[in-house]
Amino acid sequence: MEQNSTPTIQVTTSGKVVVTNAKDVLLLDGEGNAIATRNRFTLCNCGKTQDGPFCDGSHKQ
Ligand code: FES
């Protein structure tokens, strides 16, 4: 089975935003500075994280 390598951003119903196949994705902060990422990372979209901009699971509480 061929793996999909398309960079993908999925907005989930739980609030997190899952970014996959992200090796060429450039994540910037509010001042335009690059934030280190991995090939797969999850962004917070609920505002509860203590590890912004990444999801730390706080949306589950
Ligand atoms: S979406 Fe997970 S902590 Fe906000």
What are 13-26's pLDDT values in tens digits? Answer: 998 999 999 999 99
Nearby residues of 47 by Cβ (< 8 Å), 6 or more positions away? none
Provide residues with CB under 6 Å of ligand 1: 15-16, 44-46, 48-49, 55-59
Whether residue 56 is predicted with pLDDT greater than 70 in this model: the reply is yes
Output the average pLDDT for the chain: 94
Whether residue 1 is predicted with pLDDT greater than 60 in this model: the reply is no
Please report the pLDDT score of residue 4 as a whole number: 83
Q: Measure the CA–CA gap between 5 and 2, rounded to whole angstroms.
A: 9
Q: What angle do CA 20, 14, 51 make, to 5 degrees?
A: 70
This prediction's pTM? 0.88
Q: Which of 19, 49, 61 to mutate to test the pocket of ligand 1 (most atoms within 8 A of CB)?
A: 49
Please report the pLDDT score of residue 2 as a whole number: 61
Residue 3 pLDDT grade (very low, low, confident, very high; cuts 50, 70, 90):
confident
Q: How many CB atoms lie within 10 A of CB 56?
A: 14
DSSP state letter for 21 = S
Atom of ligand 1 at shortest range from CA of 43: 1
8 Å CB contact between 20 and 12: no
